[in-house]
């Protein structure tokens, strides 16, 4: 979804369009209030959806191993190859 082409109607744009109709000033004010509420509701729903997606990330993260610092020897965690002499030094 290209975010640079999202269509929103500003209050000024709505007031200009409604001003060209036979709507009374009270009807125009009510239309602008409805538009403001709809924009706020749309923002709340989209943020709620994003929060729901973020909460879904807990499911795969909960299956990660419970390693604590020091549980994995430095030789294995660094990814470097060592010879048997280095392994004997780290065991003592």
Domain residue extents for the chain: 3-66
How does residue 8 score in pLDDT terms, banded at 50, 70 and 90? Answer: confident
User: Is the pLDDT confidence value at 84 over 70?
Assistant: no
Give me the sign of the Cα torsion angle 61, 66, 70, 73: negative
> Could you read off the pLDDT of 30-83 as tens digits, one per residue?
999 999 999 899 999 999 999 999 999 888 877 777 777 777 777 666 666 655
Residue 89 predicted with pLDDT over 80:
no
Cβ contacts of 15 within 8 Å, gap of 6 or more: 28, 32
Confidence of residue 6 (pLDDT cuts 50, 70, 90): low
């Amino acid at each position: 979804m290209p975010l640079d082409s999202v269509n929103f109607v500003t209050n000024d744009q709505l007031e200009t369009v409604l001003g060209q109709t036979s709507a009374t000033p009270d009807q125009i004010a009510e239309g602008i209030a409805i538009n403001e509420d709809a924009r706020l509701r749309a923002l709340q729903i989209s943020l709620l959806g994003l929060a729901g997606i973020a909460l879904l990330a807990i499911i795969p993260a909960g299956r990660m191993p419970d390693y604590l610092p020091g549980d994995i020897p430095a030789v294995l965690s660094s990814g470097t190859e060592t010879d048997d002499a280095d392994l004997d030094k780290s065991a003592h």
